[in-house]
């Protein structure tokens, strides 16, 4: 239960995001942050001078008939897929924010993974898989194939990724091909005890959502570093990638990681809109 003094302080903070308010509450008072509901409740009293519900002007009530009509329109029009994507992003944000509210350690248990292709001048390229936790990069894997296949990706998960992941980690899969596959989902269900996030996962990852992953920022940083020099051949490129990764410190990772919860809160509040990049 928050004291009156603590509630007043929360009211003075909401010029910042709700996530920042909660984080500052935990830092200043040394215990579990106040819930989003309470912060909004106190801020409404400050801004409106009342806790009574304000009647909106001219807004019609959503009827079951309207819902069914809109659903039929979406089914007839594939162009509405952008709205489906926004809904998927909103659902992901709401689901994970609820998990964070009930278990503050949830966010630190998340491990983001992704693949990226780095090019040498010309056709040669290197395919890299990496995974990122809140304080370190736990994996960096170079595929030997020019094209990552289902078999090569599954072998990487079995022989490289899974053995090095801590027991309580929740692995996020970006959902890009060939990850979006029934066989890989079955493997993760068995090996991760359904502790994973993906397009077909126990927690559904919304496709085309790099703005919700701090790993996208990290891999972009690595690209900026390595292409400061002229890459000569694939082995040189791999060495440059390793050197760039070695320059990353926990403090560097804190910048994008501290925004993860805020970005989900923004995604939820804007009903799935994309957030500016880190």
Pick the CATH number of 106-269 from 3.30.565.10, 3.30.420.10, 2.40.110.10, 3.90.79.10: 3.30.420.10
- pLDDT tens string 4-27: 555 544 544 444 455 655 655 555
pLDDT at residue number 208: 82
- pLDDT tens string 84-118: 889 999 999 999 999 999 998 999 999 999 888 99
Is a pLDDT exceeding 50 seen at residue 261? Answer: yes
User: What DSSP string runs through the chain?
Assistant: ---HHHHHHHHHSTTS-HHHHHHHHHHHHSSPPPPHHHHHHHHHHHHHS--SPPPPSSPPPPPHHHHHHHHHHHHH-GGGHHHHHHHHHHHHHHHHHHHHHH-TTHHHHEEEEEEEEEE-SSS-EEEEEEEE-SS-EEEEEE-SSSS--HHHHHHHIIIIIHHHS-TT-EEE----TTTS-HHHHHHHHHHSTT-EEETTSSEEPPSS-GGG-HHHHHHHHHHHHHTTS---SHHHHHHHHHHHHHT--HHHHHHHHTTHHHHHHHHHHTTSPPPPP-
Confidence of residue 68 (pLDDT cuts 50, 70, 90): low
Q: What residue has token string 């693949």?
A: 115
The residues spanned by each domain of the chain are: 4-48, 106-269
- pLDDT tens string 193-227: 889 999 889 999 998 898 999 988 888 889 999 98
Nearest to 116 by CA among 262, 231, 13, 241: 241
């Amino acid at each position: 239960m928050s004291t009156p003094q603590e509630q007043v302080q929360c009211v003075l903070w909401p010029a910042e995001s709700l996530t920042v308010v909660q984080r500052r509450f935990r830092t200043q008072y040394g215990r579990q942050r106040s819930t989003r509901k309470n912060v909004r409740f106190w801020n409404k009293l400050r801004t409106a001078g009342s806790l009574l519900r304000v009647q909106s002007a001219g807004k019609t009530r959503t009827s079951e008939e309207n819902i069914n009509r809109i659903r039929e329109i979406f089914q007839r029009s594939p162009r509405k897929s952008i709205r489906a994507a926004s809904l998927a992003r909103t659902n992901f944000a709401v689901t994970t924010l609820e998990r964070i509210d009930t278990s503050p350690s949830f966010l630190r248990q998340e491990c983001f993974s992704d693949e990226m292709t780095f090019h040498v001048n010309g056709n040669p390229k290197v395919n890299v898989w990496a995974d990122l936790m809140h304080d370190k990069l736990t994996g960096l894997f170079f595929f030997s194939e020019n094209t990552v296949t289902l078999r090569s990706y599954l072998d990487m998960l079995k022989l490289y990724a899974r053995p090095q992941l801590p027991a309580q980690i929740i692995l996020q899969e970006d959902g890009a091909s060939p990850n979006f596959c029934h066989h890989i989902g079955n493997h993760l269900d068995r090996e991760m005890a359904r502790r994973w996030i993906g397009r077909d996962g126990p927690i559904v990852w919304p496709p085309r959502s790099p703005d919700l992953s701090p790993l996208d920022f990290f891999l972009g940083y690595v690209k900026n570093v390595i292409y400061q020099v002229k890459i000569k051949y694939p082995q040189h490129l791999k060495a440059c990638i390793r050197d760039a990764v070695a320059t990353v410190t926990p403090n560097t990772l804190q910048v994008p990681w501290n925004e993860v919860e805020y970005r989900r809160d923004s995604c939820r509040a804007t009903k799935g809109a994309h957030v500016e990049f880190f």
